Copies of this chain bind each other. A is one copy, B any other.
Amino acid sequence: MIRREFTRRLVGGITSVALPWTYRMQATLRVDGSRLQAHLAALSEFGKNPGGGVSRVAYTEADRQARDAVTGWMREARLETAVDAAGNLIGRRAGREPSRKPLLIGSHIDSVPQGGNFDGDVGSVGAIEVARTLDAAGVTLRHPLEVVIFQNEEGGTTGSRAMAAGLTPAELERVAQSGMSIRDGIRFLGGDPDRLDSARRAPGDIAGYLELHIEQGGVLDDTTTPIGVVLGIVGIRHWDITITGFANHAGTTPMDRRKDALLTAARCIEAANRIVRSVPGRQVGTVGKLAVEPGAYNVIPGLVTFGLELRDLDDAKILRLYQRILAECRRIAALNGTALTSTETLAIAPALTDPGIRGVIAGAAQELGLRTIRLPSGAGHDAQEMARLGPVGMIFVPSVGGISHSPREYSRPGDIENGANVLLRTLLRLDATL
């Protein structure tokens, strides 16, 4: 059965390539699912919360200790480990053709506060397991291989941005979730914030980047699909929308004389939800934060600021939706005698994965008898930064119930093992055909 599949043409962008004999021999390789689980379990001890899950926030002692453990596993896979100036942990393996640019695989091990044990962890231990499997089988790739654990993904993909785009002086001074500045955090992890240029890579410096990750949404779980081929990482825009009314005594101000900023905000939140849902597609829109001033039972709210987030693979669609929401909110604000201002606080462009690599992933999964669907990633990932440097691919495995950034985040061992095997085969095929 395997033999038959090897003779099939590859799906997608990389087709009609005669696969070398070495790849066919390597096609029987499989990762060790029990070792994968053992590493995930070991990782879950660092920053473990009593109620479940972890708070392994970047630049904390738990983060640093986990990186030490991961460094040990990299060495067991006979990777040559180093921390780059940006604080990324890198395990290297030489290739047969030293002039080639490296293939990178990896993810992150930092978590959000009160996070789970799969976001980032699966792709990190999966990448190390792939390297170890290659080592155990005595396989040397044509390309150099780098297993990268990017630092502070959850706090803004700091490590991958430092590698692919650089960090501004202002970003270095920003205080991260840990309470430490990014600059101090980089030093804390063994990097050197004064030598960031040495960690920087240029477009074309990598042959490709592959990342295995949990979906964090419910599409694969709902459709019982074991492997997701990621179309790209959605663009994200954030706005702070401020409603100015007039704070007045809630007992003495008649209902028809109020300029209630919270009432306006409530109507805007309802409108934003309605507008985002009014067009077909997978776009999402969220109001996740809101602050009321002065914020007392007995004072009509005079000032409300809420955060609006829109995400989609198409940035133009994000902007069209935003303009509709803004126009409707302005109309509502005026009706309520309140004023509205909006400030964009974040704009991350969508990052598409490489169409050729999508095909390779789908082909690899098919060879393993695993169904796939194509879907966008609603969450941000280090892969979106790596896309500045070369072609990237992302492999999703199911999140049970679509739950993520929560102690209740869970992915089944069998799904994780499948994902790591798809990562392994995709890497082998890319190495053979790129």
State the A residues within 8 Å of B (CB).
Answer: 114, 215-219, 234, 236, 238, 247-257, 260, 262-263, 265-267, 269-270, 273, 276-277, 282, 284-290, 292, 294-301, 307-309, 311, 346, 377-380, 399, 402-406
Q: Are A251 and B298 in contact (CB under 8 A)?
A: no
Chain B nearest CB from A167 CB (Å) reads 21
Shortest A411–chain B CB gap in Å is: 13
Assess whether A296 is in contact with B285, with CB atoms less than 8 Å apart: no
Specify which chain B residues have a CB less than 8 angstroms from the CB of A251 in the assembled complex.
216-217, 234, 236, 284, 311, 377-380
Total copies of this chain within the assembly: 2
Q: How far is the CB of A380 from chain B (nearest CB, A)?
A: 7
Judging by beta carbons under 8 Å apart, are B292 and A297 in contact?
no
- Minimal Cβ-Cβ distance residue in B for A399: B252
Docked Cα-Cα span, A252 to B234, in Å, equals 10
Residue of B nearest to A237 (CB): B297
**In the complex, are the beta carbons of A250 and B309 less than 8 A apart?**
yes
A234 cross-chain contacts in B, Cβ below 8 A: 251
Q: Is the CB of A247 within 8 A of B307?
A: no
A403 to B114 alpha-carbon distance, docked (Å): 44
- Selected A-B contacts with CB under 8 Å, 9 pairs: A216-B249, A248-B403, A248-B404, A248-B406, A251-B379, A255-B284, A288-B292, A297-B307, A297-B309
A269 to chain B: which residues have CB within 8 Å?
Answer: 262-263, 266
The answer for the CA separation of A266 and B329 in the assembled complex, in Å, is 14
Note all chain B residues with C-beta closer than 8 A to A286.
Answer: 250, 260, 297-300
CB distance from A375 to the nearest CB of B (A): 10
Most buried by B among A289, A296, A308: A289
Complex alpha-carbon distance, A214 and B56, angstroms: 56
B255 touches A263 (CB 8 A): no
Complex Cα spacing A64 to B294, Å: 26
Contact indicator A252/B288 (Cβ below 8 Å) = no
Is A282 touching B254 in the complex (CB atoms < 8 A)? yes
* Chain B proximity of A323: nearest CB distance (Å): 19
Inter-chain contact B285/A255, CB cutoff 8 Å: yes
Q: Contact check, B292 vs A298: say whether CB atoms are below 8 A apart.
A: no
Given contacts A250-B284, A251-B378, A260-B286, 17 further A-B contacts (CB under 8 A): A114-B294, A216-B251, A217-B251, A217-B254, A218-B254, A247-B406, A251-B311, A251-B379, A251-B380, A252-B402, A255-B285, A262-B269, A262-B287, A262-B290, A288-B297, A289-B295, A290-B295
Q: Are B378 and A252 interface neighbours, CB within 8 A?
A: yes
Cα A93 to Cα B430 in complex, Å, equals 99
Pick the contact of A249: B250, B276, B404 (CB < 8 A).
Answer: B404
A402 touches B266 (CB 8 A): no
The answer for the CA separation of A255 and B276 in the assembled complex, in Å, is: 8
Provide the bound-state CA to CA distance between A406 and B296, in Å. Answer: 14
Q: Is B290 in contact with A290, judged by CB distance below 8 angstroms? A: yes
Known interface pairs A248-B405, A276-B255, A405-B249. Does A297 touch B290 (Cβ–Cβ under 8 Å)? no
- The answer to whether B346 touches A253 (Cβ under 8 A) is no
Min Cβ gap A123→B in Å is 15
Contact check, A297 vs B289: say whether CB atoms are below 8 A apart: yes
Cα distance A252–B265 in the bound complex, in angstroms: 25
For A268, the closest partner residue in chain B by CB is B266
Given contacts A248-B403, A266-B266, contact A292 B295 (CB under 8 A): no
Q: Which residue of B lies closest to A299 (CB)?
A: B288
Q: Which residue of B lies closest to A380 (CB)?
A: B251
Closest chain B residue, CB of each to CB of A247: B406
A263 CB to nearest B CB, Å: 6
